[in-house]
Structure 1
Amino acid sequence: MGFKVIIVGGSVSGLSLANMLEKFNIEYVLLEAHPTIAPQLGASMGLLPGGLRILDQLGCYDRVREIVGDCCYYQPSLRLFNGKILNKKKPKTFSEQLEDRTGYPQIFIDRQMLLQILFDNLQSKDRVMTRKRVVRVETAENHVCVHTQDGCTYTGDIVVGADGVHSAVRKEMWRNGVESDPGSFRPDEDKALSADSNCIFGISKRPKSLPTSALQINSFFDGRNYMMLSAPGDRLYWFMFQDMDRTTGSETPRFTTEDEVNLARKHFDDQVTACTTFGDVYENRLQTALVSLEEHVFARWYFRRIITIGDAAHKVHPNTAQGGNGAIETSAVLLNTLLRRLDDTSKLSGQDIEDVFAEVQTKRFARAANALEQGRHTSSISTRDTFASRLFVHYLLPWFGDRIIMWLAVKHAETGPVLERLPIPNRHGVTLKHAGTVERPRSSKRIGFDELLCDII
């Protein structure tokens, strides 16, 4: 019997890892709780060059570009705190410049579309099982067992929790730790998730008042801000971020559809461009949701034969565009580290596996923590009409933002991981530098502009 991985969750991290394991003929099964693998929930996600490079290695990038087309070449529109609107058309968009430097643009895509691309790319689709809600995980000396709600049991060498911010695998990992090794996890870790903002996100038909050409809108108001981007199919991705009192754990509110509609109507008159209101966007909605934006990088991601990845381990603010990218990166680092250990033997001991997991967390923790801080800084400076916010939004962002953000975006990509045993793609004549071991980019903190990266990408 070879090495077997049980992936829980058909998320971006889960399906990315499945593709990676398949490339190296490592046995796996993926268990998804929902009835379909790629539901349309109204969510979009940003992909940066580092994440796109890994998707390219897996053979998924061409399909992403085919779907997105020229929608990624956004012209910017800014609505400042004082109501002034800046439309500054540029000879080359930010994404075109980024493509020249890294080989890849900045891309936004339906989360559903990316999940479908990852699933379609798999050769052994029968290894992906839906309606498999995990209820219990048990670790033993030589294996791990996963029990699902329908009465089935799956046995493997490791289980990977890729099941999102409210991960069942993470809860089972904590339970295993408390029962067999008290002190392995912080006693208050289940209360560590916090939120100080909420967001209505959605996908709308393009309002007739907006141009058909690709556009990115950033509009700033006291207590809230909007980001809107052209989407394939003559649609619009959009986010309304709003400040709220900080909450933790179970105190964090869950919202109803009525809550969402009431909040949206309250801001219908917000002028997001010279000729478009938020009401115009919302009334053209196709899918929407209102959620609290929970954030946290957990102190420990693994225990014995269990590891968490993606939002189950490091949940960051969506304004960083690093949630999905971070999930892909952690999957890649896990695959690389496993392969090095499996070179010697197909049967790893419990200690071997914990060593692998510890190395994964060591390589990824600082970068995930940096993304968390970026999100918090950006949320604060974008939703509060303060002197610092006006300085940033009125002067730094319009006049210096692109150059600083470009430099940071390139550095971010150059310090990101790759799949070390697959060819590195060359796009637009560029073979982007990479790092096997990822560290927090030192220079961005030194000049104090790391948070700028998040406001545009």
Structure 2
Amino acid sequence: MADRPFRVIIAGGGYSGLVTALALEKASIEFVLLEARDIAPHLGASISVHPHVQVVLEQLGVWPEIEAGVIPLTDREHFDQHGTMFDNSDVLGEISRQTNGGLTLFMERKFLLQCVYNQIAGKTKVRARTGFVSYAEHEDCIHVTTDSGETIRGDILIGADGVHSAVRAHMAEQLRPMDLATSQKLLSSFVARYHCIFATSHNSNAAGKPFLPDAMVHNVYYPNFSGIAAVGVQGLVFWFLFVKSEATTRTPDTPRYSEEDMHATIDKYGGFALGPGYTFHDLWDARIKAAMVPLEEGVLPTKWSNSGRVVLLGDAVHKATINPGLGGNLAVEGVVALVNSLRAALTGKTESADKKDKQRLSTVELQHVFQKYEREQRPRADKIVSLSGYVTRLEAMETWWLRLLRRVMPWFSAGTKASVLVGHMKEAQCLEFLPNPEGGFRATAAV
């Protein structure tokens, strides 16, 4: 036991799980990743990358493949419910200028996951179609049982398995006999007030004319619903229809929408314009793939780790509505905070301990690691989840004062709007054990 390397078990092979695996590999920390489905599944989801996460992806060697396959977003136009463009400020260009050339990207989630996976050297450690079932903690290790009955031994378990986290559910189950209130909070801390159709479509109508020019984003504002379309990849448009739900629901009882639900939503809202000369239904008819989901939001109010060797990450602890595209970036921030903390603890242990204790961390030491990660990440999660929810409600003009704010939005300069996000980006960490990329903001992103 004393001679085996420290080993991390990751449950979840989505964005946060794969980035964690790659970061651990770069830090020379052993890992095994368990994903119940295939890696990089062909779903309808798209995802954004902002300049501060560009820094991390450059550090990890992922950036060149991403940059070669996307079109950076440069223009954004906002339309009211009557089809009038009321704002076309250069906010995306201003973000790039304020970050010394940082890019705002929008791409298929599958493409981004594949790019991260491609950089992992130890691909045998990434176990597709191997689902997490349960864990059992011991004094010096943790055992994880998979859906095939296999037992995997490690030192810690990271639950990076999404808003409906099986790791978090098992944590709640174990805690229930001792602390029912906290157990229930682990399961029911995310609410959904909106739902969304997200889709990828061909960027051309029946006559072969593009819906949007390359590098363009369109936003449209209607009472209690809204839409976004963006062309961040050649020939594709990623689009969203956000609708205020009739009732607020809470995990684990948020809705699971069917194909019939999605078709009914398009039948109701499809005739409305998203941008000049095209409707939601036009995009729907040109779709490649689509899905409808509730927009859960919230930050887990309980501790993000148990008292032993389990810690939660990404959407398992904080879920933001997707209108401003900040949730995936927030997940990477959490990966950076956790891996930095873990590697620092292991490096200090290795340098100070004798051979017998090399790379062994006690549960007390692990709690310090987890607490540092949560202390750094929770305030950023609170901020982004709150901001994202605010943007969702603004775009749907949910209240009279949000409708008023929509009218005064053009009065604020692009620089002022950009500075809100750029300030957040400049406070983000880089991976401490890898060189910073050269060039301006990228070289000084960690402050």
> Percent same amino acid among aligned pairs?
31
Aligned equivalent of 1:434? 445
1:402 aligns with 2:405: no
Closer, same or farther in 2 for the Cα pair 1:316/1:199, shift >3 Å? same
Q: Does the residue aligned with 1:236 lie in a helix, a strand or coil?
A: strand
- 8 Å CA contact 1:173–1:302 kept in 2: the answer is no
> For the aligned residues, what is the CA RMSD?
1.9
Closer, same or farther in 2 for the Cα pair 1:272/1:351, shift >3 Å? same
Determine which of 143, 146, 149 is the counterpart of 1:145.
143
Q: Does the residue aligned with 2:340 lie in a helix, a strand or coil?
A: helix
Aligned equivalent of 1:440? none
Q: TM-score when scaled to structure 1?
A: 0.89
For 1:27 and 1:382, locate their aligned partners in 2 and report how far apart those are by CA, in whole Å: 44
Pairwise mapping of residues 34-49 of structure 1 onto structure 2 (< 5 A)? 34=37, 36-49=38-51
Q: Displacement, 1:83?
A: 3.7
User: Residues 244-292 of structure 1: CA distance to partner in whole angstroms, max 9, x if unpaired?
Assistant: 1211134422110111011012112212223111111111011101111
Aligned equivalent of 2:355? none
- 8 Å CA contact 2:230–2:239 kept in 1: the answer is yes
Q: Structure 1 unaligned segments of length 5 or more: list them.
A: 437-457
Q: TM-score when scaled to structure 2?
A: 0.91
Aligned equivalent of 1:23? 26
Determine which of 359, 366, 380 is the counterpart of 1:367.
380
Pairwise mapping of residues 6-21 of structure 1 onto structure 2 (< 5 A)? 6-21=9-24
- 8 Å CA contact 2:73–2:231 kept in 1: the answer is no
1:50 aligns with 2:52: yes
- 8 Å CA contact 1:418–1:435 kept in 2: the answer is yes
Q: List, as ranges, runs of 4+ consecutive aligned residues in structure 1 with deviation greater than 3 Å.
A: 93-97, 181-184, 186-189, 429-436
Q: Does the residue aligned with 2:323 lie in a helix, a strand or coil?
A: helix
- 8 Å CA contact 1:32–1:130 kept in 2: the answer is yes
For 2:212 and 2:365, locate their aligned partners in 1 and report how far apart those are by CA, in whole Å: 56
Q: Does the residue aligned with 1:426 lie in a helix, a strand or coil?
A: coil
Q: Does the residue aligned with 2:8 lie in a helix, a strand or coil?
A: strand
Q: Aligned AA for 1:353?
A: L
- 8 Å CA contact 1:194–1:295 kept in 2: the answer is yes
Q: Aligned AA for 1:434?
A: A
For 1:116 and 1:431, locate their aligned partners in 2 and report how far apart those are by CA, in whole Å: 23
- 8 Å CA contact 1:177–1:184 kept in 2: the answer is no
Tell me the matched-pair count.
427
For 2:442 and 2:215, locate their aligned partners in 1 and report how far apart those are by CA, in whole Å: 27
For 2:210 and 2:346, locate their aligned partners in 1 and report how far apart those are by CA, in whole Å: 57
Aligned equivalent of 2:389? 376
User: Residues 296-329 of structure 1: CA distance to partner in whole angstroms, max 9, x if unpaired?
Assistant: 2112211110001000111111123221111111
Aligned equivalent of 2:96? 99
Q: Does the residue aligned with 2:67 lie in a helix, a strand or coil?
A: helix
- 8 Å CA contact 1:132–1:148 kept in 2: the answer is yes
Pairwise mapping of residues 169-188 of structure 1 onto structure 2 (< 5 A)? 169-179=167-177, 182=179, 185-188=182-185
Determine which of 256, 259, 262 is the counterpart of 2:261.
259
Q: Aligned AA for 1:309?
A: L
For 2:80 and 2:197, locate their aligned partners in 1 and report how far apart those are by CA, in whole Å: 20
Q: Aligned AA for 1:318?
A: I
Determine which of 311, 317, 321 is the counterpart of 2:315.
311
1:354 aligns with 2:351: no
Pairwise mapping of residues 433-452 of structure 1 onto structure 2 (< 5 A)? 433-435=444-446
Q: Aligned AA for 1:7?
A: I
Q: Displacement, 1:109?
A: 1.3
In terms of mean alpha carbon deviation, does 377-386 or 55-64 score higher? 377-386
- 8 Å CA contact 1:209–1:275 kept in 2: the answer is no
Q: Does the residue aligned with 1:356 lie in a helix, a strand or coil?
A: helix
In terms of mean alpha carbon deviation, does 339-348 or 386-395 score higher? 386-395
